[in-house]
Structure 1
């Protein structure tokens, strides 16, 4: 039976706590969110009926500052998933020098089954429900799976209407015209690209001689595959929820995306052969980038993974048991809280621009992102080498140390 995201996150925390000999009270503070809210959202549907949706918002830790994190609209969303993701967000923010704690939200819904009007009413209802606990200096929700710049813009409008003043820094991931940031659509993927370059450098590999397999062809996977191709990497396979496609000679990612836009899936793309998601993970390649959901690399399939490196574009794609096997087999893992931090980092940049009434160019955004990704990598790679610990443990040790310092400074522990 597979572990929940919360079980994986808490196991990662426990491993780091044991290694650090962390005081029990600090572990207790970090293993669960400081605040977890469940809300019920009535929405008037187009046919006149009322459907009630369940939503969540977790605020994991505020020692470093107000919480931040995305909002997921997914039919299988759970409270435990939201808790886990908020914990990971605390670690991601601390690791990547973002002065915020971790937050996360979600609604149990399939957004593809709602009309535009129903989706807008759901977004506005959610903001009304969590309104008392969010804001630019409390907790600022961003975009995630199932949400978009448009949903974030509706949320911002509802938030500002409730508070009767403009506050663009209260919601991130917005449309550009309302204060969104340049570089935001590709931010997570761009961060993954910069992470891949750093890993390739220390492994002595050249990007234009590498092959890649990308699981997931949504916001992160499609942009990452495109960026890899632009960097000279041959992308062998991609997949979405319906299945995957594989061409040993390499895929034309722009052409694949055009096909998926027309048909709704990559499946059936005529210039490649079909492959299922499980088999795709086991293809021989230089780079394996899981960019979909949690727990796809497990104790069961880890022995068959042949990639040189894993770039975790998704949150929590690798279980702790799988990681042990992969490390023994010489696979370099770029952990999620570093590798996919680009989206979080650019959301932070968006807030800075909003608070300063300023606008940065895409080149400025990407240059700042590349500099931070590189700086953090040097620190965690040094820790990984000096203490002979995994890259993930190095990330967690660095992040926990920073959060612990903040909690002690505040007199909490």
Structure 2
């Protein structure tokens, strides 16, 4: 029996069991690796602007603290539940381990539509969430970061709330803060830059010239828009993008800087162009060189995987590909190179680690240094994955997750079980 349920956690558990079988991990050791160390459920009451009281349910899941403090984002979304948060925490553990970062995975969330809140209400909810979490988090226990529905401003409110209770400024309690409040240069762009960097690396391996290449980006939020911008900057034609309001397509390539400016002003792609509008369901299977799913989980199922017409699948979102789709993609490994999420979108946690280190030391780097170090770590992890996949004759995701699970397991075995 477990409190964790739902399709997202079931997917994370299914992925883990595939790796556990591959590594021949005894059955009696698996729950210790998979099930989270700690889960917290809270109520977050706030005053609405109209004078009424509203209560929102919040969560924080810390998967393991074997390698160091836990690390992970906090999302504000109407779909959030404890199973989804737990799955994201598990994935974050494998991601941190495969990147060789001294963290376990964590994730948090509040079940709320942030677009339905005023700025004042959003601040009240953010501060209440952090206030309720203070007994369970800390710079050496659990370090929060932004995720879907949260941003630099929310992180600044988190940091300020925690600091007020400590009686001193504690910038290292969260990452993804504004630079003016102890954040690091390059953090906001880090995940999208990493996605584009690794996609470009695979393009070079496949002898695909950027000037003649095309890309499709599903999800035009922080990750997708930056990835699109970076690909556009090296000459790739981004022929389709989408967000929760719709999709835009143009075979000659979209004007990505204009789209980013529009979203910055209006908050979404809606209203940019009626002539370029297309069906969001179609863009995942459009012919292209690079496909970047950068929205939510489980968008590529077995049916979609059979219909993909890309050469590189660069997973900007967490868990965009179901286990059933992975079986299809393993068969299509000669056609499609998959850059799995725990490596492809790890640029965010890598630069979050840099921000945490800089805050602890009160010594800050310039953006060029941040990017150089980020790409160095991503390249090393990708090379280790590629070498493991070739050595074992396995799919890229299997290789990447095997490395992450092995490192966590080795640390747990070395430390032993506290009686």
**Structure 2 matches for 1:370-389, cutoff 5 A?**
370-389=375-394
Quick one: which of 198, 203, 213 aligns to 1:200?
A: 203
**Structure 2 matches for 1:76-91, cutoff 5 A?**
76-91=79-94
Aligned residue in 2 for 1:18: 21
Residue 90 of structure 2 is aligned to residue 67 of structure 1? no
Residue 322 of structure 2 is aligned to residue 319 of structure 1? yes
Aligned residue in 1 for 2:373: 368
Tell me, yes or no, if the aligned pair for 1:6 and 1:84 is still in contact at 8 Å: yes
Tell me, yes or no, if the aligned pair for 2:33 and 2:409 is still in contact at 8 Å: no
Distance 1:25 1:178, change over 3 A: farther
Residue 331 of structure 2 is aligned to residue 328 of structure 1? yes
Aligned residue in 1 for 2:351: 346
Could you give the per-residue CA deviations for residues 78-98 of structure 1, whole angstroms, max 9, x where no partner exists? 111100000000000000011
Which whole-Å CA distance do the structure 2 matches of 1:282 and 1:324 have between them?
17
Normalising to structure 2: TM-score of the pair?
0.95
Aligned residue in 1 for 2:3: none
Residue 96 of structure 2 is aligned to residue 96 of structure 1? no
Which whole-Å CA distance do the structure 2 matches of 1:305 and 1:238 have between them?
16
| Range with bigger deviation, 170-179 or 194-203 | 194-203
Question: After TM superposition, which residue ranges in structure 1, 4 or more long, deviate above 6 angstroms?
Answer: none
Q: What is the DSSP-based 3-state SS (H/G/I as helix, E as strand, rest coil) of the residue aligned with 1:232?
A: coil
Cα offset for 1:412?
Answer: 2.4
Which whole-Å CA distance do the structure 1 matches of 2:411 and 2:210 have between them?
39
Could you give the per-residue CA deviations for residues 349-381 of structure 1, whole angstroms, max 9, x where no partner exists? 000000110111111000001111111111110
**Structure 2 matches for 1:12-411, cutoff 5 A?**
12-270=15-273, 273-329=276-332, 330-411=335-416
CA RMSD of aligned residues (A): 1.4
Cα offset for 1:265?
Answer: 3.0
Could you give the per-residue CA deviations for residues 249-303 of structure 1, whole angstroms, max 9, x where no partner exists? 0011011222334444324533852222210101000000000000100012221
Tell me, yes or no, if the aligned pair for 1:194 and 1:374 is still in contact at 8 Å: no
Q: What is the DSSP-based 3-state SS (H/G/I as helix, E as strand, rest coil) of the residue aligned with 1:257?
A: helix
Tell me, yes or no, if the aligned pair for 1:32 and 1:60 is still in contact at 8 Å: yes
Could you give the per-residue CA deviations for residues 99-148 of structure 1, whole angstroms, max 9, x where no partner exists? 00001000011111111111111111101111101010000111000101
Distance 1:259 1:168, change over 3 A: closer
Cα offset for 1:178?
Answer: 1.2
Runs of at least 5 residues in structure 1 that lack an aligned partner in the other structure: none
Distance 1:245 1:81, change over 3 A: same
Normalising to structure 1: TM-score of the pair?
0.97
Tell me, yes or no, if the aligned pair for 1:127 and 1:155 is still in contact at 8 Å: yes
Runs of at least 5 residues in structure 2 that lack an aligned partner in the other structure: 1-5
Q: What is the DSSP-based 3-state SS (H/G/I as helix, E as strand, rest coil) of the residue aligned with 1:238?
A: strand
Which whole-Å CA distance do the structure 1 matches of 2:75 and 2:316 have between them?
16
Q: What is the DSSP-based 3-state SS (H/G/I as helix, E as strand, rest coil) of the residue aligned with 2:317?
A: coil
Which whole-Å CA distance do the structure 1 matches of 2:127 and 2:273 have between them?
41
Which whole-Å CA distance do the structure 1 matches of 2:161 and 2:366 have between them?
28
Q: What is the DSSP-based 3-state SS (H/G/I as helix, E as strand, rest coil) of the residue aligned with 2:302?
A: coil
| Range with bigger deviation, 91-100 or 261-270 | 261-270
| Range with bigger deviation, 276-285 or 254-263 | 254-263
Which whole-Å CA distance do the structure 2 matches of 1:272 and 1:260 have between them?
17
Distance 1:270 1:122, change over 3 A: closer
| Range with bigger deviation, 335-344 or 44-53 | 44-53
